[in-house]
């Protein structure tokens, strides 16, 4: 009986020991993915910003500028593109809506971002666009890969439609979460005007016809939780200028927007709580269960060997038979 139990425990020890690396290196890369139907929004603010008044074409200080960013998973498009690409795909239809202190629209930039659900690498397909212009992204945008590394990544900038490195700057703690800090600087670059302008009757074509051009620069910062690859906080030091042309009345340039854009406090709290929850799920597959299975396998192996040794232990000498009782006569 002990030998049979030993063999069963040995089989279980082999099973759990083999399951540990399979779960980490085979199952996790295939099971961990961004859901195709994910929806998220984010509100950022630039307090004490500078904003162009298109009525007077002069820059003025305002109390704050609000940026509302939404990302909505397009399930139907993801399934269609995924069948063609032969892999799990996520399609995010995004919108960056900027409004002034009076609530009026300053700009709105729609975007379609298509990427691999597991690795977050961009997937090139029809419909990939920024503000209606077709683009071909290289590098990540919005989210880092699962198990983010301490290195530079290529990051796509939607304003310039270009990709450049975003640099790993170190490890720190943000609101009790261990994070990697990344920073990217986009130098002054000439960019196009948004398709939707804040003043009725003014179009990108009419502004371009005056010879005036739009320029942009930013310092982009992210604090990324490395297990999930999700930013828990982000901010930008963002500047835009209009330069030259007859629209500026002889001036060389005028500030269109300048401000330190930061996440609003309530969205910071919500994001940190969500990332902490998702982090536990990822760690379950990458650390807790694989290590637990290894420990369990070692314990089962030890118990199996102990039972086997006990079964093979030689038996002690047989007890001597008791003497038969004397017959009793009547």
pLDDT 10s digits, 140-186:
998 999 999 999 999 999 999 999 999 999 999 999 999 999 999 99
Strands 133-134, 129-130: pairing is antiparallel
Which pLDDT belongs to residue 54? Answer: 82
Q: Residue ranges per domain, the chain?
A: 2-21+286-310, 32-263
Dihedral angle over CA of 311, 314, 318, 319, nearest 10 = -80
Residues 225-238 have a mean pLDDT of: 96
DSSP state letter for 323: P
> Which pTM does this prediction carry?
0.87
Helix H or strand E encompassing 256: strand 253-263
**pLDDT tens digits, residue range 240-282?**
999 998 888 889 999 999 999 999 999 999 999 999 999 999 9
Closest by CA to 160, choosing from 235, 109, 91, 234, is 109
Express as a percent the part of the chain with pLDDT over 90: 71
Which pLDDT belongs to residue 323? Answer: 60
**pLDDT tens digits, residue range 272-329?**
999 999 999 999 989 999 999 999 999 988 888 888 777 776 655 656 665 655 665 5
- Do the beta carbons of residue 207 and residue 193 sit within 8 Å? yes
- Residue that is written with structure tokens 């948004």 in the block: 194
128-131 contacts, C-beta under 8 A, 24 or more apart: 130/158, 130/161, 131/192, 131/194, 131/195
Q: How confident is the model at residue 4 (pLDDT cuts 50, 70, 90)?
A: confident
- Helices marked H in 75-161 — which ranges? 75-85
Q: Does the pLDDT of residue 330 top 80, yes or no?
A: no
Which pLDDT belongs to residue 325? Answer: 59
Ranking 66-80, 105-119, 172-186, 201-215 by mean pLDDT, the lowest is: 201-215
Q: How confident is the model at residue 235 (pLDDT cuts 50, 70, 90)?
A: very high
Which pLDDT belongs to residue 309? Answer: 79
Query: What does the mean pLDDT of the chain come to?
Result: 90
- Do the beta carbons of residue 245 and residue 210 sit within 8 Å? yes
Distance CA(245)–CA(197), nearest Å, equals: 18
Query: What is the secondary structure of 198-232 as a DSSP string?
Result: SSTT--HHHHHTTT-EEEEEEEEEEEEETTTTEEE
Which pLDDT belongs to residue 243? Answer: 94
DSSP state letter for 142: S
Distance CA(246)–CA(209), nearest Å, equals: 9
Query: What is the secondary structure of 51-70 as a DSSP string?
Result: EEETTTTEEEE-SEEEEEEE
Q: Does the pLDDT of residue 219 top 90, yes or no?
A: yes
Distance CA(216)–CA(261), nearest Å, equals: 14
Distance CA(194)–CA(230), nearest Å, equals: 28
For the chain, what is the radius of gyration of the CA atoms?
32
**pLDDT tens digits, residue range 63-99?**
999 999 999 999 999 999 999 999 999 999 999 999 9
């Amino acid at each position: 009986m002990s030998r049979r139990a030993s063999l069963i425990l040995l089989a279980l020890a082999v099973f759990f020991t083999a399951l540990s690396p399979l779960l980490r290196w085979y199952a996790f890369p295939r099971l961990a993915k961004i859901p195709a139907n994910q929806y998220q929004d984010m509100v950022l603010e630039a307090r004490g910003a500078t904003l162009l008044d298109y009525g007077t074409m002069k820059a003025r200080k305002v109390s704050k500028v609000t940026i509302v960013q939404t990302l909505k998973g397009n399930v139907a498009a993801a399934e269609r593109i995924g069948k063609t690409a032969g892999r799990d795909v996520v399609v995010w239809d995004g919108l960056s809506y900027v409004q002034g202190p009076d609530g009026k629209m300053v700009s709105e930039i729609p975007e379609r971002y298509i990427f691999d659900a597991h690795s977050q690498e961009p997937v090139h397909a029809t419909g990939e666009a920024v503000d209606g212009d077709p683009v071909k992204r290289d590098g990540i945008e919005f989210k880092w890969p699962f198990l983010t590394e301490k290195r530079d990544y290529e990051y796509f900038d939607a304003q310039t439609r270009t990709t450049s490195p975003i640099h790993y700057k170190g490890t720190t703690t943000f609101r009790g979460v261990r994070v990697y800090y990344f920073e990217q600087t986009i130098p002054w670059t000439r960019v196009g005007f948004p398709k939707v302008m804040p003043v009725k009757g003014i179009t990108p074509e009419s502004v371009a016809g005056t010879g005036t051009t739009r320029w942009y620069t930013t310092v982009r910062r992210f604090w990324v939780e490395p297990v999930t690859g999700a930013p828990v906080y982000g901010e930008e030091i963002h500047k835009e200028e209009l330069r030259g042309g007859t629209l500026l009345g002889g001036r060389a340039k005028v500030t269109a927007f300048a401000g330190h854009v930061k996440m609003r406090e309530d969205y910071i709290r919500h994001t940190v709580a969500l990332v902490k929850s998702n982090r536990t799920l990822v760690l379950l597959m990458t650390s807790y269960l694989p290590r637990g299975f290894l420990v369990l396998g070692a314990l089962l192996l030890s118990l199996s060997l102990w039972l086997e040794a006990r079964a093979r232990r030689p038996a002690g000498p047989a007890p001597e038979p008791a003497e038969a009782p004397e017959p009793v006569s009547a």
